[in-house]
Structure 1
Amino acid sequence: MSKSECAPTDALECCTSLAAEPIDAEQAETIAPLLKALGDPARLRLMSLILSHEGGEACVCDLLPCFDLSQPTISHHLKVLHDVGLVSRERRGTWVYYSARPGALSALGSLFDVAVPA
């Protein structure tokens, strides 16, 4: 799929490295919120904690002791990560479990692939 065929919601899934060719304004508008979400230290740390947690998923109750933040603040940060598509969530009884969306993270990482000259 060429970049001109990318729908805004598909920007990460269909776009290659930023070094391959310039992205258009619409793609930049789609990708920027993901980078902005990860630009917050608490959210970046939450991503790391979720990814490194046993089974690749964590409940707010698992994450809360790692921060000097209130439960509502942690929940807000997790909502931001969910809203931009970096994590998925599943309610189990009274708890909500969060897991990283591997496809979104892989696509985000591939944006920064730069070919090294031989």
Structure 2
Amino acid sequence: MNDKPRTPDKTPAPDRDFQRRLAAKQRRRLHSQRQGEQTAWFGLGMFGLVGWSVAIPTVLCIALGLWLDRTVTGRYSWTLLLLGVGITLGCLNAWYWVGNERRAIERERRDPEEKDDAL
């Protein structure tokens, strides 16, 4: 254990306050620069994610519906029924992914220093 007494910080209070404000300003600047680089690509990526998360279940359900209409004779169209199911599943899937991204963005805005420390 160190028995040496701690010496108080000899920096005057106005200088410490200035250093704290300067460090906070620098953190905000770095954070905004990183955000500025990601916005265009992030938006396009999110657009693609939402589109594909709706399109894939819809197309798969339509294909299943077409197959069922050919193999099972019936009064109702399986293709139309499964089209609605595919769109519903796709929209729920997109809602899930957009919600996850929104929560991540909110978490990052709330605590930007934690993300910077993790890098």
Fold shared, TM-score > 0.5 on shorter chain: no
Which of 1 and 2 has greater Rg?
Answer: 2
Looking at secondary structure, tell me which structure has more helix per residue.
2
Looking at secondary structure, tell me which structure has more strand per residue.
1
TM-score range with shorter-chain normalisation? under 0.3
| Larger relative contact order, structure 1 or 2 (CA cutoff 8 Å, min sep 6) | 1
